[in-house]
Amino acid sequence: MNNFVISISSEPVLTFGLLLLIILVVPILFQKIRLPGIVGLLLAGTVVGPQGMGFIEAAGVIDVLGKVGLLYLMFLAGLEINLSQFKKDRNNTLVFGALTFLIPQISGTFIFIWLGYSVPASILIASMFASHTLVAYPIITRLGLNKEKSVSTAVGGTIITDTVALLVLAVVARSVDGDLDTFFWVTLIGLFALYLFFMFVVFPKMSYSFFQYMGEKGRFTYVYVIGMMLMCSWLAEVIGIEAIVGAFLAGLALNPLLSNKGPLKNRVEFFGDAFFIPLFLIFVGMQVDVQVLASGYEVWFIMGVMTSIVVISKWLAAFSSSKLLGFSNDQAWVIFGLTNSQAAATLAATFIGMEIGLIGEEILNGAIMMILVTCIIGPLVVEKYGLKLSDDTTEELETDARARQRLLVPLANPVTSAKLIEFASNLKTDEKSPIFPLAVINTYKDEYKQRERAHKTLEIAKGHIHAVNSQANPVVETNLNIAEGIRNAASNNAITDIVIGWNGVISTPMRIFGSILDQVLLTTKQQTYICKISKPVSTFNKIVFVMNSQSYSGRNSLVLLESLFKLAENLKTEVEILYFEQDESKLKRELYLISSDLEMNLRSVGNMEDVINIVVNELTESDLLLLMNSRSGKSDWFRISNVIPAIISTQKPELSFVSAFPAALEKDDYVLDILYSN
């Protein structure tokens, strides 16, 4: 043990400085030798911790922040689950969750009974093997595999196996005290049911109201999210289950309210990846006592048995479930890498077992070394096989024309820019797609003041774009005609999508929205969205599509439909499609071609009057009305559908509304488009 020990209480500045340097330098060095940075942080914690060279104490604030980091990790895992995919593949989750719990639990129990341990002790030790911690999950996030089916299965299975394993721990601990009676079971089940009711009914409604009230004030919404995550974790402990389960459930409960490309989601992920999760990994490394390796044969034997059971049983669970579910070998290895690592639940079971006298020091030392070994194996496996899955995904994106998306957002009012940019960011199919905020000025009057105002508007917009983790390419266009300025900017910057705001006022009888917006639709050929958004994009409860066969005929209309489904997927909200009865077969054909994982409620209507009645009498400010339009002014649908903006303007001004127009066809595309439509 080193005599020079830095304490957080005596040297807080130096301690935090060293920890931040470790978080910065160690992952970079390990990436140079082609090892995951997570492994480096774990080993760094072992080296500098009290059981290693003893430079830094794992006590006080470090202990607290390490535990918060674990909760943050589980919270992010809940946030990242694609709920539509999760519901669709719930059978996958149940199969894997059952196997990844039962195989380690049963095999571990029998092996330790055979080694001479009591039945309660053997069950408790086996519960350590059954649980797992998603230590390698940051690698999945970095590789962009959050929505990969095997990852969703592994993350979904986590909640099953960890919850059941921790309930086993609670039951075993209570059985040793002799209080395993009817009152215990009624209390545990009843409190857990109340907790689930609060988490998935009360908590989401409360959060929705808060987000609506606070609007775009990011600092307050971030503090609310993290504070409520910690409170939900504490409530889980109060009713007798581990805090990590509460953090995971909090992530699931807030999942629909944090859009995938929104600024709040980006802030939550950034702060976790940069601070809390690395501190957790260092803290786990600090628990490892390297001196126990020299304490005798028994420690090595127990450590070898425990590590072997975990690795073999988790491998069997991953590959047997993958065979049953039709996953590839690469996907099976990713599942194994994610679910092999042991940390939080294992430590909880170990410490509780020692407190009640069921296990001794040899199990504690074996558990700690097992944590180190599995936390090294897991990230290495995920890094290797995750890269293979990521390469496949990248190849698919590179062959998709929409990966070259470039979004233009003309801005006139800095107050509304945040909503438009968040809307645009959720349309993106690729994180690398840039957003071009545009300000159009003219040289007719007060050019200097206009240019100064334009630059201020664009600076505000750049802040909003960076908040949603996108690249900002500001554009200033000089033109006496604003619509022509927008057209020139779109042409000069190879824009694919235009997102432009509408204030809900029809300023002239010309066409639909008023002179400027109508001129934009007439003179541009890009995919265009006219948006009247009255509230934060992430707080919509439902998106209502209005569609007609004339609005989704041809390749460009199909591309637009894919973009709109991408928006709904990122906003993680309920989707209802209103279609006309005579169009049912064609609509189902288009939906089959897109093959979206979204859960959609298809609702047929007889005529446009039915649509108007739904808009006026059923939709609320919590809904987003999305009208898929046609660019052809000669089509019947174009003329009929454009009644809706006028009705919204006069009868439903609080309703959020988007009118989406497909890209205009080039002359050479008409023949191909006719063939495609047939």
Residue 56 pLDDT greater than 80, yes or no: no
Q: Concatenated DSSP letters for 397-451?
A: HHT-GGGG--EEEE-S-HHHHHHHHHHHHHH-SSTT--EEEEEEE-SSS-HHHHH
Specify the pLDDT at position 344.
Answer: 64
Spatial separation of the C-alpha atoms in residues 319 and 335, rounded to whole Å = 8
Specify the pLDDT at position 211.
Answer: 82
Write the pLDDT tens digit of every residue in 629-652.
876 655 556 666 677 887 887 888
The answer to whether residues 127 and 168 touch, using CB atoms and an 8 Å cutoff, is yes
Residues linked to residue 545 through DSSP beta bridges, in sequence order: 577, 626
Higher per-residue confidence, 13 vs 250: 250
Residue 2: pLDDT band (50, 70, 90) is: low
The answer to whether residues 568 and 542 touch, using CB atoms and an 8 Å cutoff, is no
Higher per-residue confidence, 116 vs 188: 116
3-state secondary structure of 579: strand
Residue 676 pLDDT greater than 60, yes or no: no
Mean pLDDT of 357-367: 78
Mean pLDDT of 23-32: 85
User: How far from 537 is each of 200, 566, 599, 621, CA to CA, in Å?
Assistant: 21, 14, 19, 12
Q: Please identify which residue in the block is written with the tokens 């409604």.
A: 205
Mean pLDDT of 186-209: 87
User: How far from 629 is each of 405, 424, 498, 660, CA to CA, in Å?
Assistant: 20, 18, 15, 6
Write the pLDDT tens digit of every residue in 99-153.
999 999 999 999 999 988 888 888 888 888 888 877 788 788 778 777 788 888 8
Residue 216: pLDDT band (50, 70, 90) is: low
Q: Please identify which residue in the block is written with the tokens 């174009």.
A: 638
Write the pLDDT tens digit of every residue in 554-596.
677 778 888 888 888 888 788 888 888 877 777 777 777 676 6
DSSP code at position 623: E
* Domains of the chain, each with CATH number or no CATH: 12-398 (1.20.1530.20), 400-533 (3.40.50.620), 535-678 (3.40.50.620)
DSSP code at position 507: -
Q: Which of 598, 542, 601 is closest to 87 using CA atoms? A: 598
Higher per-residue confidence, 181 vs 408: 408
Q: Concatenated DSSP letters for 325-346?
A: HT--HHHHHHHHHHHH---HHH
Higher per-residue confidence, 245 vs 508: 245
Query: Highest-confidence range of 319-323, 575-579, 660-664, by mean pLDDT?
Result: 319-323
Residue 85: pLDDT band (50, 70, 90) is: low
Write the pLDDT tens digit of every residue in 503-561.
776 655 444 555 677 788 888 888 899 888 888 787 888 888 887 766 665 677 778 88
Specify the pLDDT at position 434.
Answer: 87
Query: Which amino acid appears at position 63 of this protein?
Result: D
Spatial separation of the C-alpha atoms in residues 465 and 258, rounded to whole Å = 16
Q: Which of 306, 384, 326, 329 is closest to 136 using CA atoms? A: 384
End-to-end alpha carbon distance in the chain: 78
Mean pLDDT of 455-471: 81
Spatial separation of the C-alpha atoms in residues 242 and 159, rounded to whole Å = 12
The answer to whether residues 411 and 526 touch, using CB atoms and an 8 Å cutoff, is no
Higher per-residue confidence, 53 vs 191: 191
